[in-house]
């Protein structure tokens, strides 16, 4: 995953209720309903599982507030979550020994695991599906609609797969030609002046999407960090309920609902 900073997540806990309201406006669905849709479950399959967040000290170390933020996101959607007292392998060991699900992240990967059924979820894949599900709902169905997916990394590819399965026509953009090789979708390495009504912005660069790339009614679902839109454009889309963006919440919550799926092995 893109390594977040303490500044990126400092307001996550206070923002959850506001985010829920924003998603209801943009997508006509609650935060919890979006993440369940991304995992393919409904209320009858939802369970409140004991879930630990295990701080990881390796690499560049613990991001200030990260474990607490993840824990509060999980609690918000109904998990029985807590931050583990022990760290690293010891924390993982204790969680598995107790039969608890656990979330852990280092510099390169953010994962969740359910020892009761063998389910594992990766944040990149979960984030892509979460923002794709939000866009699908905001578009009132995505079948036969064209979606620009900017960024051919794990998040963008996951979003593209979800939307393609839902019937969308995908145009996959990345400046790295190698990432587009053997793609099953239409591809491009330059956006030019073509306009799009539905966009997934999953790059790691700023100012990728500009005003000239969007129709007057465009909806942008943007898991990318940093946000790849010009600041004024992002502010306007946000005020009009046409920008879906958050650094941690949707992806984390989808990881949890992934763990509720049937046994993997």
CATH code of the domain in which 72 resides:
3.40.50.12150
Rounded CA-CA distance 83/264 in Å is 26
39-84 pLDDT, tens per residue? 999 999 999 999 999 999 987 767 768 999 999 999 999 999 999 9
Domain CATH number, residue 161: 3.40.50.720
Q: CA separation (Å) from 38 to 34, 49, 189, 257?
A: 6, 19, 28, 8
Average pLDDT value for residue range 195-201? 98
145-182 pLDDT, tens per residue? 999 999 999 999 999 999 999 999 999 999 999 999 99
Tell whether 265 is covered by a domain: no
Q: Is the pLDDT of residue 143 over 70?
A: yes
Q: Are residues 27 and 112 in the same domain?
A: yes
Q: Are residues 142 and 160 in the same domain?
A: yes
Rounded CA-CA distance 113/127 in Å is 16
Number of folded domains in the chain?
A: 2
Q: Are residues 134 and 112 in the same domain?
A: no
Q: Is the pLDDT of residue 3 over 70?
A: no
Q: Are residues 111 and 195 in the same domain?
A: no
Tell whether 204 is covered by a domain: yes
Q: Are residues 141 and 103 in the same domain?
A: no
Rounded CA-CA distance 139/198 in Å is 8
Rounded CA-CA distance 145/166 in Å is 10
Average pLDDT value for residue range 2-9? 64
Q: Are residues 67 and 104 in the same domain?
A: yes
Residues 197, 219: contact at Cβ < 8 Å?
Answer: yes
Do the strands 50-54 and 80-83 form a parallel or antiparallel pair, or are they unpaired?
parallel
Q: Are residues 153 and 95 in the same domain?
A: no
Q: Is the pLDDT of residue 142 over 70?
A: yes
Q: Are residues 36 and 88 in the same domain?
A: yes
Q: Are residues 24 and 83 in the same domain?
A: yes
Neighbours of 28 (CB within 10 A): 11
Q: What is the pTM of this model?
A: 0.94
265 pLDDT tier (thresholds 50, 70, 90): very low
Boundaries of domain holding 22: 6-124+250-258
Q: Is the pLDDT of residue 1 over 60?
A: no
Rounded CA-CA distance 30/32 in Å is 5
Q: Is the pLDDT of residue 6 over 80?
A: no
Q: Are residues 22 and 93 in the same domain?
A: yes
Q: Are residues 109 and 168 in the same domain?
A: no
Q: Are residues 115 and 155 in the same domain?
A: no
């Amino acid at each position: 995953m893109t390594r977040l900073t303490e500044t990126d997540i400092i307001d996550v806990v206070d923002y959850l209720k506001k985010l829920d309201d924003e998603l209801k406006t943009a997508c006509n669905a609650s935060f919890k309903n979006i993440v369940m849709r991304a995992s393919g479950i409904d209320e009858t399959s939802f369970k409140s599982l004991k879930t630990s967040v295990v701080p990881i000290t390796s690499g560049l170390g613990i991001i200030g507030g990260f474990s607490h933020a993840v824990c509060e996101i999980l609690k918000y959607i109904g998990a029985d979550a807590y931050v583990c007292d022990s760290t690293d392998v010891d924390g993982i060991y204790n969680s598995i020994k107790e039969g608890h699900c656990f979330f852990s992240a280092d510099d390169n990967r953010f994962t969740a695991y359910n020892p009761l059924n063998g389910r594992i979820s990766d944040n990149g894949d979960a984030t892509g599906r979460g923002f794709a599900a939000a866009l699908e709902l905001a578009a009132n169905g995505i079948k036969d609609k064209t979606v620009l997916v900017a960024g051919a990394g794990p998040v963008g590819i996951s979003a593209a797969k979800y939307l393609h399965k839902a019937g969308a026509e995908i145009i996959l953009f990345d400046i790295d030609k190698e990432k587009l090789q053997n793609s099953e979708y239409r591809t491009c390495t330059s956006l030019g002046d073509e306009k799009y009504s539905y966009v997934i912005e999953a790059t790691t660069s700023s100012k990728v999407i500009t005003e000239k790339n969007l129709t007057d009614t465009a909806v942008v679902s943007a898991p990318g960090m940093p946000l790849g839109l010009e600041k004024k454009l992002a502010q306007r889309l946000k005020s009009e309920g046409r920008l879906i963006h958050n650094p941690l919440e949707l992806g984390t919550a989808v990881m949890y609902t992934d763990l509720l799926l049937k046994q993997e092995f």
